[in-house]
Amino acid sequence: MPTATQITMVPVVVDNEKCIADKGCRTCIDVCPLDVLWIDEKTGKAHMRYDECWYCMPCEADCPTDAVTVNIPYLLR
C-alpha cells in the first residue's frame, strides 16, 4: 500500500525573527493540547508540523516574545 505526501497550509505561523526556541524556549510546544508544534531541525525555531489545530490559542497567548499567530484553518475561514 504505497503512500504519498500531500501539501497543506497550516494555521499557526511563527515569526522566526522573534522566536527564541533556538535559545531553549519550548513554551508553545509544551502547551499545545494537540502536540502539533515542533522544532524545525533546519532553523531551530518552532513550527507547526501537523495540520491538526483546534485554534485554541495557548501557543499564542503564552509565547514570551509574541512570535506566534494562530489563524483560522483555511477550510473554516
Partner 1 sequence: MTQLHDITIKDIDVLVIGGGTAGPMAAITAKEKDPKATVMLLEKANVKRSGAISMGMDGLNNAVIPGHATPEQYTKEITIANDGIVLQKGVLEYAERSFDMIQKLDKWGVYFQKDETGEYDVKKVHHLGTYVLPMPEGHNIKKILYRRLRRNRVEVENRYQAVRLLKDSEGIVSGCIAVGTRDAEVIVIRAKAVVLCTGAAGRIGLPASGYLYGTYENPTNCGDGHSMAYHVGAELSGLECYQINPLLKDYNGPACAYVTGPLGGYTANANGDRFIECDYWSGQMMMEFYNELQSGNGPVFLKLDHLAEETIQEIEQVLHTNERPSRGRFHDGRGNDYRTKMVEMHISEIGFCAGHSASGVWVNEKGETTVPGLYGAGDMASIPHSYMLGAFVYGEICGENAVTFASDRTVPQLDEEFILQERDRILAPLRRDDGIPPNQFEYKIRRLVNDYLQPPKITRKMDIGLQRLKDMQQDIPYLYARDPHELLRANEAQHVLDCALMAAQASMYRQESRWGLYHHYVDHPETNNEDWFCHVQLYKDEQEQMACKKRPVDPYVIELDEEEKTAYQRMRIQKVS
3-state secondary structure of 13: strand
Q: Is 52 in the site for partner 1 (CB under 8 A)?
A: yes
The DSSP bridge pattern shows strands 46-48 and 12-14 to be unpaired
Q: Is 9 in the site for partner 1 (CB under 8 A)?
A: no
Q: Are 47 and 11 in contact (CB under 8 A)?
A: no
> From the list 43, 50, 64, 66, which residue makes contact with partner 1 (rule: CB under 8 A)?
50
Member of 56, 64, 65, 66 binding partner 1 (CB under 8 A):
56
Q: Is the dihedral of CA 69, 62, 56, 50 positive or negative?
A: positive
Binding site for partner 1 (CB under 8 A): 1-3, 30-35, 49-50, 52-58, 61-62, 70-73, 75-77
